[in-house]
Amino acid sequence: MQQYFIANWKQHKTAQETRDFLSVFKDQIDVSQLGEKQIIICPSFTSLQAAQEIVKEHGIDVSLGAQDVSEFDDGAYTGEVGGSQIKEFADFVIIGHSERRRYFGETPEQVAKKVANAKKAGLTVVLCVQDENEPVVEGADLVAFEPVGAIGTGQAEDPAEVSRVFELLKAKINVPLIYGGSVDANGIVNYKSVPNIAGFLIGGASLEPESFSNIIKAW
């Protein structure tokens, strides 16, 4: 089964820092050892082009993603970035992250519009949900269970709780389920007990090439 390792860089790294990361990271992953592991890096919009260039130049085995997408079709929406604009550089997009819901007031309706727009542009959608009660939008290609208390706190969720929520999510949608929240190289093996886990969304521990590659190797 495909295992996804999705780096969510949030509001970190300039384009130059993105180039520097990838130049080091490419030597830390052994492509022959990756098997079914797929690596997806989601930098800021401003770094996507630089990331794409480096990935192509060195033939690095990673895919790219954005962290958000506009809910609108192209038009007069100052500051927004649409699906087709992202698709020039990336194949994935994270939608509905709890930080977007919390700091930018994103509603379930907006999340649904974003998913629809991303699909229209041919992007693969990674939908984040905080718990089993969050609406799971049709069209999501992967669903990430991201309990708010585990994000950026160092308090990764109990694998038994992840299993419980996965079970409930599975009843709603038949897509790969991943976990996110304070995942690191030490704690990741604890999730081997979660049935059918299809990977991880990783924030803080994905920012340094070594710590991100150690996570991937540890799985």
- In the complex, which residues of this chain contact ligand PGA (CB under 6 A)? 8, 146, 151-152, 180-183, 201-205
Residue 153: CB minimum distance to ligand PGA, A: 7
From 71, 99, 134, 146, the catalytic residue: 146
Closest listed residue to residue 12, CA positions, set 99, 117, 131: 99
Q: Which is nearer to ligand PGA, 96 or 139 (CB)?
A: 96
Q: Which is nearer to ligand PGA, 137 or 215 (CB)?
A: 215
Active site residue 58: no
Q: Which is nearer to ligand PGA, 96 or 180 (CB)?
A: 180
* β partners of residue 93: 66, 125
From 71, 97, 99, 106, the catalytic residue: 97
Instruction: Please give the DSSP secondary-structure letter assigned to residue 76.
Output: S
Residue 3: CB minimum distance to ligand PGA, A: 16
Rounded CA gap, 203 and 152, in Å? Answer: 7
- Cβ 178 vs Cβ 194: under 8 Å: no
- Tokens 């939608």 belong to 95
Q: Which two tokens stand for residue 21?
A: 């990361």
- Cβ 123 vs Cβ 87: under 8 Å: yes
Geometric angle at alpha carbon 157, from 138 and 148, rounded to 5°? 60
Residue 8: CB minimum distance to ligand PGA, A: 4
Active site residue 97: yes
Residue 1: CB minimum distance to ligand PGA, A: 21
Q: Which is nearer to ligand PGA, 94 or 115 (CB)?
A: 94
Residue 2: CB minimum distance to ligand PGA, A: 19
Rounded CA gap, 194 and 139, in Å? Answer: 24
- Cβ 205 vs Cβ 211: under 8 Å: yes
Measured CA to CA in angstroms, residue 49 lies from 4, 89, 126 at distances of 22, 6, 20
The residues assigned a catalytic role are 97, 146
